[in-house]
């Protein structure tokens, strides 16, 4: 079974959940099938093979880089919980912290956010591929 067949099932399941219109959903699935024979598929296979190579690397720094990056992003998102508590007791302090964080996050380059999205999707696809193959349990 190739990479495309391994990810086709999970991707179609996501399409079923995300696209409520049956016609649009069917069109998206047909587009996926069209990709199977196109150049886009070979590009996707190349990208996924690099991700899988990273994930299965014997070097702990290489195999843990992507999950570590995701944990940092999760920590940033979870920081909103204590910020809500600060806002409940001292709205001015919360406002100042929020403005500082907004300025900081706005100063981060756009490619970093693109890297996060690519890394998250790639890590998820590689994990799913490993589960389908039976190498990840």
pLDDT tens column, 19-73: 778 888 788 877 777 776 666 667 677 777 766 776 676 776 666 666 777 788 8
How far is the first Cα of the chain from the last one, in angstroms, to the nearest whole number? 18
Nearest one of 98, 73, 75, 102 to 87, comparing CA atoms: 98
How far apart (Å, rounded) are the C-alpha atoms in residues 137 and 134?
Answer: 7
- Distance in angstroms (rounded) separating the CA atoms of residues 121 and 66: 11
For 96-127, write each residue's pLDDT tens digit: 988 998 898 889 898 888 887 887 777 777 77
- Domain carrying residue 16: 3-133
Q: Are 103 and 96 in contact (CB under 8 A)?
A: no
Tally of domains in the chain:
1
What stretches of 54-111 adopt beta strand conformation (E)? none
Which residues lie below 8 Å from residue 3, measured CB to CB, with a gap of 6+? 44, 45, 48, 49, 129
């Amino acid at each position: 079974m190739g990479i495309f067949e391994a990810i086709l099932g999970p991707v179609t399941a996501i399409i079923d959940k995300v696209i409520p219109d049956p016609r649009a959903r069917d069109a998206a699935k047909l587009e996926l099938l069209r990709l199977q024979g196109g150049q886009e598929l070979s590009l996707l296979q190349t990208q996924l093979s690099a991700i899988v190579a990273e994930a299965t690397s014997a070097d702990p720094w290489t195999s843990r880089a992507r999950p570590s990056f995701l944990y940092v992003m999760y920590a940033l998102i979870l920081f909103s919980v204590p910020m809500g508590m600060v806002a409940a007791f001292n709205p001015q302090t919360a406002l100042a912290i929020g403005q500082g964080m907004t300025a900081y996050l706005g100063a981060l380059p756009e490619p970093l956010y693109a890297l996060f999205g690519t890394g998250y999707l790639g890590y998820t696809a590689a994990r799913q591929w490993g589960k389908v193959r039976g190498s990840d349990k």
